[in-house]
């Protein structure tokens, strides 16, 4: 007797939607991601063939680069990296990857008005496109890792294979259902301007067993919320190689203590205090004094509003009105009613 399949409650795109969204790119890793414990990045270390299982995740972003609705099952996140920023030549996630303004991109726009004169500068500032995926670590398939490579090293060939492959029904290759496929990828040596790297040169699709949906979705990383993105002023200061003024350091954001910056609770759910961002607003230096002033003034206000009477300067004491005294008597009576004596516990004596 065939086993009845458990119906998933997650939202999945139609095959036509997957084909259309996959055709657009939208937009190696340094310190680009904030990943939960036990999850790291993976990429091939030498030329050869690798079995790679790309996994789905459930989107939460309202501005996904692939125009994917929040709450849908998807498999990749395109993002951009600005290289060579600051005196240390840092590689930084472009804020436009998550729908934020970027001072570097704004400068590129300004320089583009005189493109011929600024061509070389623009080329150096222009962001490089990458795509990130959840995968089963090829070296340890019990664990999930992040595969994040520039589009030329993996994404372009994968999309070409999806469009041109003769294999029937591979559109949902990333899903945990029976439609899922394992990718057999051949990485080959390549070089550019004397710099060597690995790029995918062949991809085959192999059938794979249906996976445990709940187990996989607990393990995978929410790609929408994993990026480490500098705020506008800090990125601008890094780009222009100037120091951020002290007053700009006050306030701002800091790592969420509740989730240690992961954006997830201990149960793997979205962290409530930081709303899944991993960061919370940093209080100003004088916030403590302000809060104490507020609390003390609030306390004084409470006392004055709850008491009925006036200060008698002749006697040097508080003259309570009959209304206030009446309230006190009622409070005492209520206290007597609610206070009861505990009866001694009965214990059976041993014979």
Q: Does the pLDDT of residue 304 top 70, yes or no?
A: no
Distance CA(173)–CA(19), nearest Å, equals 11
- Give the pLDDT score at 259: 76
Distance CA(280)–CA(40), nearest Å, equals 24
For residue 323, count CB atoms less than 10 angstroms from its CB and return exposed for 0-12, middle for 13-18, buried for 19 or more: exposed
Q: Does the pLDDT of residue 158 top 80, yes or no?
A: yes
> How many other C-beta atoms can be found within 10 angstroms of the C-beta atom of residue 68?
22
Query: pLDDT-derived band of residue 11, with 50, 70 and 90 as boundaries?
Result: low
- Give the pLDDT score at 273: 76
Strand partners, 158: none
Query: pLDDT-derived band of residue 281, with 50, 70 and 90 as boundaries?
Result: confident
Q: Does the pLDDT of residue 52 top 50, yes or no?
A: yes
Percent with pLDDT over 70 in the chain: 67
- Give the pLDDT score at 2: 52
Per the CB < 8 A criterion, the answer to whether 72 and 59 are in contact is: yes
Q: Does the pLDDT of residue 23 top 50, yes or no?
A: no
Ordered domains of the chain (ranges, CATH) = 11-246 (3.90.198.10), 250-284 (no CATH)
> How many other C-beta atoms can be found within 10 angstroms of the C-beta atom of residue 150?
16
Please report how the helices 103-111 and 115-125 are oriented relative to each other, as an axis angle in degrees rounded to 10.
160
What does the pLDDT average to over 115-119? Answer: 92
3-state secondary structure the chain: CCCCCCCCCCEECCHHHHHHHHCCCCCCCCCCECCCCCCEECCCCCCEEEEEEEECEECCCCCCCCCCCCCEEECEEEEEEEEEECCCCEEEECHHHHCCCCHHHHHHHHHHHHHHHHHHHHHHHCCEEEEEEEEECCCCCCCEEEEEEECCCCHHHHHHHHHHCCCCCCCCCCCCCCCCEEEEEEEEEEEECCEEEEEEEEEEEEECCCCCHHHHHHHCCCHHHCECCCCHHHHHHHHHCCCCCHHHHCCCEEECCCCCCCCECCCCCECCCCCCCCEEECCCCCHHHHHHHHHHHHHHHHHHHHCCEEEECCCCEEEECHHHHHHHHHHHHHHHHHCCCCCCCCCCCCC
Interstrand relation of 253-255 and 279-281 (parallel, antiparallel or unpaired): antiparallel
- Give the pLDDT score at 87: 86
- Give the pLDDT score at 185: 98
> How many other C-beta atoms can be found within 10 angstroms of the C-beta atom of residue 21?
19
Average pLDDT over the chain, rounded to an integer: 78
Task: Residue 136: name the closest of 80, 46, 63, 75 by CA.
Answer: 75
pLDDT in tens, 218-233: 999 999 999 999 999 9
Number of residues written out for the chain: 351
- Give the pLDDT score at 253: 73
What does the pLDDT average to over 192-217? Answer: 94
Query: pLDDT-derived band of residue 290, with 50, 70 and 90 as boundaries?
Result: very low
Decide which of 264 and 37 is more confident. Answer: 37
Burial 286-321 (b: 16+ CB within 10 A, else e): eeeeeeeeeeeeeeeeeeeeeeeeeeeeeeeeeeee
- Give the pLDDT score at 18: 53
Query: pLDDT-derived band of residue 211, with 50, 70 and 90 as boundaries?
Result: very high
What does the pLDDT average to over 169-196? Answer: 94
Distance CA(25)–CA(151), nearest Å, equals 8
Q: Does the pLDDT of residue 251 top 90, yes or no?
A: no
Distance CA(32)–CA(30), nearest Å, equals 5
State pTM to two decimals.
0.63
pLDDT in tens, 67-91: 999 999 999 999 999 999 988 889 9
Q: Give 85's contacts (C-beta < 8 A, 6+ positions apart).
A: 91, 92, 104, 235, 238, 239
Decide which of 196 and 306 is more confident. Answer: 196
What does the pLDDT average to over 23-28? Answer: 39
What does the pLDDT average to over 136-152? Answer: 96
């Amino acid at each position: 007797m065939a086993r009845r399949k458990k119906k998933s409650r997650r939202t999945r795109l139609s095959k036509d939607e997957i084909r259309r969204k996959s055709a657009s790119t939208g937009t190696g890793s340094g310190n680009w991601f904030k990943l939960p414990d036990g999850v790291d990045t993976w990429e091939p270390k030498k030329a050869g063939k690798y079995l790679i299982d790309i996994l789905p995740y459930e989107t939460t972003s309202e501005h996904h680069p692939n125009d994917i609705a929040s709450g849908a099952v998807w498999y990749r996140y395109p993002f951009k990296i600005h290289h060579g920023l600051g005196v240390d030549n840092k590689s930084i996630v472009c804020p436009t990857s998550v729908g934020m303004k970027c001072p570097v991109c704004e400068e590129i726009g300004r320089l583009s008005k005189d493109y011929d004169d600024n061509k070389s500068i623009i080329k150096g500032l222009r962001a490089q496109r990458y795509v990130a995926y959840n995968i089963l670590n090829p070296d340890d398939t019990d664990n999930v890792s992040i595969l994040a490579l520039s589009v030329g090293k993996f994404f372009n060939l994968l999309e070409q294979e999806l469009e041109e492959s003769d294999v029937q029904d591979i559109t949902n290759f990333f899903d945990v259902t029976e439609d899922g496929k394992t990718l057999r990828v051949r990485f080959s040596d390549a070089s550019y301007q004397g710099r060597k790297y690995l790029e995918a040169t062949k991809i085959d699709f192999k059938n794979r067993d249906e996976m445990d949906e709940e187990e996989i979705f607990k393990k995978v990383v929410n790609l929408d919320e994993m990026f480490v993105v500098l705020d506008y002023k800090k990125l601008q200061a890094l780009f222009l190689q100037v120091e951020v003024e002290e007053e700009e350091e006050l306030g701002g954001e800091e790592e969420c203590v509740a989730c240690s910056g992961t954006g997830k609770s201990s149960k793997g759910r979205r962290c409530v205090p930081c709303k899944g961002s991993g960061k919370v607003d940093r209080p100003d230096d004088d916030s403590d004094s302000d809060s104490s002033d507020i609390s003390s003034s609030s306390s004084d206000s409470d006392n004055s509003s709850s008491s009925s009477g006036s200060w008698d300067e002749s006697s040097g004491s508080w003259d309570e009105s009959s209304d206030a005294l009446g309230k006190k008597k009622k409070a005492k009576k209520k206290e007597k009613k609610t206070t009861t004596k505990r009866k001694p516990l009965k214990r059976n004596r041993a014979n």
